Amino acid sequence: MNITLKIWRQHNASSKGQLVEYQLNNVPAEASFLEMLDILNEQLVLKGEDPVAFDHDCREGICGACGLYINGHPHGRFKNTTTCQLHMRKFTDGETITVEPWRSEAFPIIKDLMVDRSALDKLIQAGGYISVHTGGVPDANAIPINKHNADLAMDAASCIGCGACVAACKNGSAMLFVGAKVSQFALLPQGQVEAADRVQKMVARMDELGFGSCSNTYACQAECPKGISVTNIARMNRQFLAAKIAEPLK
């Protein structure tokens, strides 16, 4: 198939960027979106031009590195699909595809389509972990957890931290990401001990890092490649209010 690409090119964080048009012919329909960019880059290198910088790692929909804004949607317009799992057969022959980086104050552009998403790591460092001693590996069923909560915790834990929720949100809010990370622990007994501290620290850090507030547009849920539900935001808000009243941070 033949396609026209409009790709955001920007030399570094401080330079001015622009959309640059490329014509790419004979792209295999079975190629993934990232493989299509690889083909483009091989052609650019052969011509002595600067290849397009973009993030990727696992190419299996697991790591969350491949964040690209494709035709106005994070990871493209197809539901529950990361950029690396998006295939060219989903596009039409002759289509023009616009590719941009995540745009959010908290994610400064490094180069072209690469952005600095370390703000998400800083949110995890603020409390997205369990530091209490949980003992050795317990026997199966030694810690009873009801099936409903186990399923909800697993769903929340499927967040891959790609940042699509932030990029999709008109406020640049990270509420879905933090809601998922808070929920995956809050729903399990091992996460209870530090729950009050965790939610308050992560919410405070979210504000410090320049993420916006949530205004309930649900764009994050609609664009999340892992189908993370906004009910995780509601759970985080309930936890936050309860913690503020019962166990405010010193």
SS3 for 216? coil
Q: What's the min distance (Å) between Cβ of 163 and ligand FES?
A: 11
Tell the smallest beta-carbon distance from residue 54 to ligand FES (Å).
Answer: 10
Which residues lie across from 231 on neighbouring strands? none
Contact status: 87 vs ligand FES (CB under 6 A): no
Length of the chain measured in residues: 250
Tally of CA atoms within 13 A in the half-sphere of 141 that contains its CB: 0
Q: Which of 29/58 has CB closer to ligand FES?
A: 58
With binding defined as CB under 6 A, does residue 58 bind ligand FES?
yes
Nearer to ligand FES, 67 or 128 (CB): 67
Number of residues forming the site for ligand FES (CB under 6 A): 14
Near ligand FES in 210-239, by CB under 6 A? none
Q: What are phi and psi of 45, to 5 degrees?
A: -65, -40
Neighbours of 48 (CB within 10 A): 6
* 157-196 binders of ligand FES (CB under 6 A): 160
| x/- map, 141-160, ligand FES, by CB under 6 A | -------------------x
Which residues make beta-bridge pairs with 21?
6
> Counting contacts by CB under 6 A, is residue 50 touching ligand FES?
no
With CB under 6 A as the contact rule, which of the stretches 80-88, 149-157, 182-190, 205-213 interacts with ligand FES? 80-88
**Alpha-carbon gap, residue 141 to 185, rounded angstroms:** 18
DSSP secondary structure letters along 107-122: B-EEETTEE--HHHHH
Residue of 5, 52, 54, 61 that binds ligand FES (CB under 6 A): 61
| Cα 224 → chain centroid | 7
Find the part of the chain contacting ligand FES (CB under 6 A) among 44-52, 59-67, 123-131, 212-220: 59-67
The Cα–Cα gap between 68 and 76 comes to 8
DSSP 8-state symbol, 52: P
Task: Write down the least CB distance from residue 203 to ligand FES, Å.
Answer: 26
Residue carrying the six token digits 């406020």: 171
Binding site for ligand FES (CB under 6 A): 56-59, 61-66, 82-84, 160
